[in-house]
Structure 1
Amino acid sequence: MRGLRFRHAPAARAQAPQRLHPGMTIALSAPAGTFPEGAVAKVSACLEQRGYRVRLGRHVFRRDRYLAGEDALRAQDLWQALEDPTVDAVFCLRGGYGSSRLLTRLPFCDMKGPCKIFLGYSDVTFLHAALGTLAGWITFHGPNAVEWVEHPADCAHTLAFLEGRKAFSWPFEQPQILHDGRASGPLVGGNLTCLTHLLGTPWAPNFHGRLLFLEDKNEAPYRIDRMLVHLALAGVFHAVKAVVCGPFVGCGDPDEIRTLFAEHVLPYGIPVVMDLPFGHDRWNHVLPLGVTYRLDTATQSFQAEEAVFSEP
């Protein structure tokens, strides 16, 4: 059974932000889980040493159980950063859990300011989807900033992408190919668990004619199985043109994960490539969402086909 079919019309090109350059202001936001308070000073120092101004949300050090403050305060800080014309980019400090609790509190359809760089991953998938679906933004799937405390060099690696010094193009090898083919279209997706929870909501991406990116961490194989079945029954694999995957870290035997994707995605005849360097991996490359990409297993390449930033 191939599930339901999506009937969305193709959307207009997403809004692109300006690339970063030293002197710009970066807001650090805490939309989800908690983190050590001392991490914020270290993250700020990483950015300031590279010439950026750093702005903190008023409530960034609040705590509410496993959340980085009460929902209303986390939403207030994030919205102020997104709408403040003096802020050039918003970097999420951590994922974990909590981003989905903000969706009904943020009027994404009413955003007035220009698109700006929004960076994060994992639980931040909920916010990527909302900004892409309702505001029409290009957003940036990439490291949550507290990870730079353990790996300071990763800050420079991330900025190389966001400053336009590193191309959004990735080669891959034959063993990573699960099904051959080529496809082109806007990229949507993120964390598999979060994306599955978005299905049936107003914040879910439009999958029609898209390339789908998936990754996850610490989910048992039977849970990956269940989520892939859910996506199939919801018509997602019928709608998309290709599937590209980051690693599934701590999810059991990688061969078993490949088998699950073979069982649930290959019947649709679309190209599938595994283990690209995005997500819960040591090197979590910056991956713009909402941008048109070309995937070609013949040339073993995955690359952006259009400008990611709004200026040359």
Structure 2
Amino acid sequence: MKQASLEVYPQEQAPVMVFPAPLRPGDRVAVTAFSSGVPALLHQQLDLALQCLRDQGWQVVEGACLRGEFQDASAPAAERLAELNHFLFDPTIRAILPPWGGERAIELLAGIDFAALARLPPKWLAGISDVSTLAVPLTLLSGWATLHGPNLFDLGDPRREEENSALLHALHHGLPPSQSRYSAFWRWDAPGERYPTTLRVLGAQTALMAGRLIGGCLDTLSRLQGSPYFDLHAFKREPALLYLENCEMRPCELLRALHGLRLSGVLDGLSGLILGRSSGPDVADANVLTYRQALETVLSGLPYPVVVDADIGHVPPQWTLMNGAWAELEVDAGQATLRFEKGCA
């Protein structure tokens, strides 16, 4: 696969963020699975989500790489890349909404011309998990603001109407609304059950942090450290907030991933760090490292506030976040308020 151009911003210059225009009735929204596709068993749920887009007044353009799944991908890498590039460069497409993430988006990065995209009007990209593999480079290398929030596939779930409304608000108005901590969350392994949220600040009761926001799924972004696709050097010329969430890693693997970020300098020079709730397996054995102990072992002593178990990631409900936007997070005794602006406050 030919390596596309990456030279967009000088190292000493922070990227200038450009924000997609709000979607209007009649706008064309492309749906393509550039990582995992949707098997036939789940097509009905996918159709509910697509109907939600149509109910907003938008035209849905289905890609060929969507309604299928083989070897953890919707299609071979060359086909997924060709379709993604078509939608990225098609001026009639205003948004690209993959159904969800997956495992294999990393295969496409070398074939995307981020420098060319930096010269084009930005379009919306939204989702979590492996969507981060594309969203973060689009923000860092092309200057496109991107969304991290409920996946398209979740839009048809009535249990998630409140959090979905924040995602739709961002698409309609160009910026996520202010959001507060949700009072409870539910887990995939206990359908219908909700658990109290436990957002906290490491070593403190309160925190106030502000900066330009960047982040996503730790499982995927940790694989990009040391590459141009997750190089925060220029981005941190302004105050920067980093957020991360764990999907599948066990505590020791989480510890290794976070230590890797510290060793590579990713965690240096931030204004704050926000960790979402983990959906990875934990342990109960007193002789085995737990999730909480892993976080405290790696992150204690950082010279800025660290918030953990925030409403981010694979454990719903979740905030809608905008990579590239100026964000302010205020935490006081477990309560939290998240605000966004396009420029510095």
**Is contact 1:120–1:141 with CA below 8 Å preserved after alignment?**
yes
Query: What's the counterpart of residue 97 of structure 2?
Result: 91
Query: What's the counterpart of residue 256 of structure 2?
Result: 226
1:161 paired residue among 170, 174, 185: 170
Deviates more, 1:289-298 or 1:236-245: 289-298
Tell me the C-alpha RMSD between the 2 structures: 2.8
Query: What's the counterpart of residue 202 of structure 2?
Result: 178
Normalising by structure 2, we get a TM-score of 0.78
The secondary structure found in structure 1 opposite 2:79 is helix
CA distance in structure 1 between the partners assigned to 2:295 and 2:114 by the alignment? 33
2:33 paired residue among 30, 33, 42: 30
CA distance in structure 2 between the partners assigned to 1:51 and 1:147 by the alignment? 18
Query: What do residues 58-82 of structure 1 show as CA deviations (whole Å, max 9, x unaligned)?
Result: 4434544221001111111111212
The secondary structure found in structure 2 opposite 1:198 is coil
**Is contact 1:178–1:258 with CA below 8 Å preserved after alignment?**
no
Normalising by structure 1, we get a TM-score of 0.86
CA distance in structure 2 between the partners assigned to 1:271 and 1:277 by the alignment? 17
**In the superposition, relative to structure 1, how do residues 266 and 98 fare at CA in structure 2: closer, same or farther (>3 Å)?**
same
The secondary structure found in structure 1 opposite 2:61 is strand
CA distance in structure 1 between the partners assigned to 2:25 and 2:159 by the alignment? 18
AA matched with 1:187: L
The number of aligned residues is: 302
CA distance in structure 2 between the partners assigned to 1:214 and 1:194 by the alignment? 10
**Mapping of residues 254-269 of structure 1, within 5 Å:** 256-269=290-303
AA matched with 1:215: E
**In the superposition, relative to structure 1, how do residues 48 and 174 fare at CA in structure 2: closer, same or farther (>3 Å)?**
closer
Q: 5+ residue gaps in structure 2?
A: 1-9, 183-196
Query: What's the counterpart of residue 249 of structure 1?
Result: 279
**In the superposition, relative to structure 1, how do residues 224 and 85 fare at CA in structure 2: closer, same or farther (>3 Å)?**
same
Overall identity of the aligned pairs, in %? 26
2:52 paired residue among 46, 49, 60: 46
**In the superposition, relative to structure 1, how do residues 136 and 42 fare at CA in structure 2: closer, same or farther (>3 Å)?**
same
CA distance in structure 1 between the partners assigned to 2:108 and 2:244 by the alignment? 22
Query: What's the counterpart of residue 319 of structure 2?
Result: 285
**Is contact 2:311–2:317 with CA below 8 Å preserved after alignment?**
yes
CA distance in structure 2 between the partners assigned to 1:174 and 1:31 by the alignment? 34
CA distance in structure 2 between the partners assigned to 1:46 and 1:205 by the alignment? 36
The secondary structure found in structure 2 opposite 1:237 is coil
Query: What do residues 210-232 of structure 1 show as CA deviations (whole Å, max 9, x unaligned)?
Result: 21101012321111111111111
CA distance in structure 1 between the partners assigned to 2:137 and 2:37 by the alignment? 22
Tell me the CA shift for residue 121 of structure 1: 1.0
- Alignment pair present for 1:187 and 2:187: no
The secondary structure found in structure 2 opposite 1:238 is coil
CA distance in structure 1 between the partners assigned to 2:12 and 2:198 by the alignment? 34
Query: What's the counterpart of residue 214 of structure 1?
Result: 244
AA matched with 1:242: G
**Mapping of residues 31-180 of structure 1, within 5 Å:** 31-37=34-40, 38=43, 39-61=45-67, 63-111=69-117, 112-151=119-158, 154=161, 155-156=164-165, 158-164=167-173, 167-171=177-181, 176-180=200-204
CA distance in structure 1 between the partners assigned to 2:295 and 2:124 by the alignment? 32
**In the superposition, relative to structure 1, how do residues 166 and 191 fare at CA in structure 2: closer, same or farther (>3 Å)?**
closer
CA distance in structure 2 between the partners assigned to 1:153 and 1:174 by the alignment? 19
